[in-house]
Structure 1
């Protein structure tokens, strides 16, 4: 995939890991559509990055909105080559609360709807556009990178819904890569560990140090740009397909 001429859709692209991917893609010369909530900083990001980026307000849990957003980008860009799915939510809740009440089924469903179903919905819409691209080297027509989490493998207390949603992303990576192989579309997943995102920006140093202690080496939190660099490598390396790659400094999450 020639990133310098790519046309990309990045969900959750207005902040955190998604924003880092958007910045890297634009710096490489690509066109990027930022899919994020209307309340996000998407408009401000586009003002800063210039004409190579556009903001498309959309909630990935709204399937009609997703269909309209993808169709809009395909028409504006003349096609879609890359799709990176970073949008997600991570509310914590235990199976039984302090009062003995069971985990809210509405909350569980909401997490899966955004993280898993939303990712799948954007993927399927983008794949349909990619399939019409003129094939490049080796017949490649597109590349999709989804974002899971190390919680897909060792979820902590309170992460039942989040881990299930991210585990679903990991589980569908290989079968979808196989499904889309005949169309020349690759599908991969990155499972980041604990990253230095805006969510942790205002956290006490003691908390950051305890989180960084999970890493084997280096003993720090991951950087969004390190995540973005891996995503762009996966997009550009045609022999990476059907894989889930951990980005976690060798760390493994403890139960708590």
Structure 2
């Protein structure tokens, strides 16, 4: 699919995977709506790529609909990339016998899974109103899961459950949207160097230790590598209903 003269919504577009993907889409000629709760960084990225910033919570219907409307006003909406997410760690029952507060599990599921679904349903509805291209294609939805969906570590039950839900809905969502000419794929990244790890010597040492656990290459992944794969899944019209691991062949140990 050619994204030139189309619009795209990238959630979590203010930094990390989302920012790299927003830049890649803009470089291909798309008008990108950077959807994020980080207003300062989001506006910077949007200004850099000639896009538009939308302040929104991915689980908020009205805010996401407003971002979709902004995208449609600029050009036909053909791409949604869901990069917004978070992964708070806590055991289901702590060593002292205290159970995890249910609200922590609900929060992780709401942002990672409900948020992805909310953005997909609203963006897809707008895509159905676009003119079809080759093969009747109207748009693409790309989700971000995690290798934690398959190899969840100690303390990752909320995150793994949410990302496992993203993996699980990929194929049925692709089947649902096939009649509208909309494809759906998911990337499951491994250990990627994003701002979550911080900066400085201490952070660099920690990232080097994490990178040593990767089979090859023995380093953390780069956001640009995610963006490269994202663009392939977006533009390759025969990629549909797939979950692709991007992880240097790592398989996470229990901790």
Please tell me the TM-score bracket, short chain as reference: over 0.9
Map Cα deviations across residues 28-67 of structure 1 (whole Å, 9 max, x no partner). 21110011015451112223223xx100100112222222
Aligned to 2:238: 239
1:117-128 alignment, distance < 5 Å: 117-128=114-125
Aligned to 2:28: 28
Kindly tell me the number of residue pairs found equivalent between the two proteins. 253
CA contact (8 A) 2:6 2:76 kept: no
Q: CA deviation at 1:157?
A: 0.5
Q: Give the distance between the partners of 1:47 and 1:66, measured in 2 at CA.
A: 20
| SS of residue paired to 1:4 | coil
Consecutive unaligned residues of structure 1, counting only runs of 5 or more, are none
Aligned to 2:213: 214
Q: Give the distance between the partners of 1:23 and 1:42, measured in 2 at CA.
A: 12
Aligned to 2:68: 70
Aligned to 2:77: 80
| SS of residue paired to 1:97 | coil
In the alignment, does 2:163 pair up with 1:163?
no
Q: TM-score, normalised by structure 1?
A: 0.95
Aligned to 1:11: 11
Aligned to 2:101: 104
Q: CA deviation at 1:97?
A: 2.1
Using the TM superposition, name which of 206-215 and 225-234 deviates more.
206-215
Q: Give the distance between the partners of 2:166 and 2:245, measured in 1 at CA.
A: 13
| SS of residue paired to 2:87 | coil
Map Cα deviations across residues 162-214 of structure 1 (whole Å, 9 max, x no partner). 00000000000000101111111000000000001111242533321221122
Aligned to 2:138: 141
Aligned to 2:229: 230
CA contact (8 A) 2:20 2:224 kept: yes
| SS of residue paired to 2:77 | coil
| SS of residue paired to 2:141 | strand
Q: TM-score, normalised by structure 2?
A: 0.95
Q: Give the distance between the partners of 2:70 and 2:232, measured in 1 at CA.
A: 27
Q: CA deviation at 1:118?
A: 0.5
Consecutive unaligned residues of structure 2, counting only runs of 5 or more, are none
Q: CA deviation at 1:101?
A: 1.1
| SS of residue paired to 2:24 | helix
Q: Give the distance between the partners of 1:39 and 1:54, measured in 2 at CA.
A: 12
